[in-house]
Structure 1
Amino acid sequence: MLSNFNKTWRSFHLIKMLVHIGFIPVSEDINGYLKFKLVSWKTVMAYMVFCIIPLVMLIYAQTQISEQSSGHQLTIMEEMAKHIHTIQNIGMSLLYPILTGKLVDKSQITLKVNKLYKKMWLLMYIIMMAVVIAIHLNNAIVRFNSIMLPIAFLFFYTLNMMGIIVAMLVICFVCSPIIEEGIHLEVSDSEIQDMIEKSILLMEKTRNIKKGFSPLLFSILPFMIVFVLYFTFIGIKSVSGGRYHFLAPDVLSVLGMLLLIYYIISFCDETHQALAAYSHKLSLMALKCAEWEISRLQIVINMLDKEAPFDALGFFYVEKTTFMTIISSSIAYLVIMLQFN
């Protein structure tokens, strides 16, 4: 128990540090709630670290590679994939600070100690990306004469990975309290009014989180799907062209991004399932309570059951089945890309 508390405390200490140094661009108001301000030094800090510096490094690295690799001619599909990936990196770098800040703001959350779930998944992603960065750095040192190119790669990949990790930590920070309530819900016969109030409060919290999540899901999931398609396509072309030194980082990049996609989807699904847990407990309570109380419980149960899953600005719902839909769609588009190529 003490060990779990210490791990939870360390995790939240990390969240507090990221908030205080501006990597998560929010500030506490007089009531302790975290609020996002577009014009603040924390937003400037987040944009500087996760947008401006990595994009400058990316553009510099791509320019140097184009100049030193003029002998290797890219196919039309490879050239298109490269430009789409660059545009995508620019777009997501511009959106990350605003979307993460808005998610925290809409969630109406405070900096208090709560258990954070799925930390091991993030650790697995960090290990994968550390290996990818090391391989790319080694390839850059071996292939190119300039010392600045490996440094540019190191800055870009490291800061880009840090930006993604911060966004994933924000998702964990926002959703974990709701999941915790659903898992450790306890009911006794004398708490009917209390349970009704808790259920309504949880429903309001979940709706607030959905409002912040919706634009994030709309932007980040398509980005990740295109990322998977890009690196899978480039990996296949590298193998077919005999460039096996790119295979390992491409495979790890795809696996890491699929891990993050499932990480986001599972948080959305489990947060929504917390409402189902409350609905189930209220149904059990209705079997034991007086007849005049059943109607009140039934109204709340219906409200919980009708609550829709997380969605991406209304375009699609995000549930665990969404993950398999993404996998099947990605395979279909990849086949099309390879046929056109």
Structure 2
Amino acid sequence: MKVSQENNASPAEISVKETHAGKMFKFMANILLVPVSLLNNGKYKLKIKSWRFFCSCLLWCVLPSVNEAYMMYQDYENGIPSKADFKYFSKLAFIQLGSITALLNYWILKVCGAYLVEQCGSIPLLELPSRKLQLTLFLVYSIGVCIVVIYIMEGLNKFLVPVYYFFVPLKLLSNLFLMNVFTSNFVKKCKNLSLLTDTKTLLKESESVSNAYVDLKRGLGPSLLFHYTTSLLMIMNCSYAFVNDFAITKVADTISNVFIIWNITSISQECFEEQQNANDVLRIAANECLDPDLKEELKWRWSVGKQESELTALGFFTISKSSMISAFSTMLGYLIVLIQFKMADEDN
């Protein structure tokens, strides 16, 4: 992956000066938060059989996983009644869903981020994400939640629970940063097409945009699927907690997961819309072009771009505003059903 490269520059004219986005990515790679290896050709690659990946697992996966497993064990030991029936164990398994999701977060998200970096090497990191304020607010919010948890917890949980609220938001924020920075630079790449006046240059850059969109769809797939499924599972878990045992930490988890779904839906929708807008530039250029050969090539390139679909979660479902509304509607219906069951139990 090229960290920075000036627009319309040849390979020999790659800028030595790094951008802020490139510096932040290199910092994440240096602390092994993104376990990618730098190849001789200047690109980054995910190598499972490497010391970087092994050390990254020890630092960012094994240590928090041991902490999470111990908290799961403590919850089980402290909450088990004298006569545990199937209803109790099913309830316990549902409550532990948050911990299971956290374990998946530790082990899968870093691989998703590294895969995204490997696949999107055609998109140079020229600028920071356009949604800097959103990511900054998420960071400040996560720090605030961690401080509140330290204040309200007692005993051993005063040290164990903040570890969860440190590692999980850090993993989420790092992956969201990568997703946002690549999509923002792709959007900029699309908008730059409307500034080009030379037809041949336009054709060359349109091909680059088309290839970048294919790489983006492939690279974002695992991250989109993971974020969407785990966020919905966590919202479902928090809904259960709201009905049975209200906790301020579950409110914090709900807010963060709603933000994640909203953010990844927004960037996915923006990428598709800008890709279509860039395709319209080709259509307009084809109508105004006088050279018949270039005109046919522009029309062909436009027809190829017109067939591109929205970003998907590894092909399982499209990421769009309509899918987000459908997911939230389903969660709201689930919450209403839980409330009805709770009211029926209280009446009985």
Q: Same fold (TM over 0.5)?
A: yes
RMSD, aligned α-carbons:
2.6
Greater shift, 84-93 or 317-326, is seen at 84-93
Deviates more, 1:223-232 or 1:211-220: 211-220
Which residue does the alignment assign to 2:10? none
Q: Please, which of 145, 149, 154 is the counterpart of residue 136 of structure 1?
A: 149
1:33-89 Cα shifts (integer Å, max 9, x gaps): 111111223222332333211221122223334445567999666423213323222
Contact 2:37 2:45 in 1 (8 A): yes
Partner of 1:37: 47
From 67, 86, 96, give the equivalent of 1:83: 96
* Cα distance in 2 between the residues matched to 1:162 and 1:92: 10
Correspondence for 1:254 = 254
Counterpart for residue 326 of structure 1: 327
Distance 1:112 1:130, change over 3 A: closer
Give the total of aligned pairs: 321
Query: Tell me, which stretches of 5 or more residues in structure 1 are unaligned?
Result: 1-7, 240-245
Identity across aligned pairs (percent)?
16
CA distance in 1 between partners of 2:113 and 2:181 (Å): 11
Rounded Cα–Cα distance in structure 1 between residues aligned with 2:320 and 2:289: 33
Check if 1:58 corresponds to 2:68: yes
Equivalent residue in structure 2 for 1:149, among 146, 149, 157:
157
Gaps of 5+ in 2: 1-17, 343-348
Find 1:25's aligned residue among 26, 29, 35. Answer: 35
Q: Specify the code of the residue in structure 2 equivalent to 1:277.
A: N
Deviations 1:176-216 (A, max 9, x none): 22111123433455x11211121111111111121122222
Q: Is the 8 A contact 1:33 1:109 kept in 2?
A: no
Equivalence for 2:106 = 93
Cα shift readout 1:287-315 (whole Å, capped 9, x = no counterpart): 32216243322211111111011112221
Alpha-carbon distance in structure 2 between the residues aligned to 1:132 and 1:108 = 35
Asked if 1:317 corresponds to 2:330, the answer is: no
Please, which of 202, 211, 230 is the counterpart of residue 223 of structure 1?
A: 230
Q: Give the letter aligned to residue 231 of structure 2.
A: M
Distance 2:271 2:211 in 1: 13
Alignment of 1:1-341 (within 5 A): 9-68=19-78, 78-109=91-122, 112-141=125-154, 146=155, 148-189=156-197, 191-239=198-246, 246-247=247-248, 249-290=249-290, 292=292, 293-339=294-340
The separation in 1 between residues aligned to 2:66 and 2:165, in whole angstroms, is 12
Cα displacement (A) at 1:337: 4.0
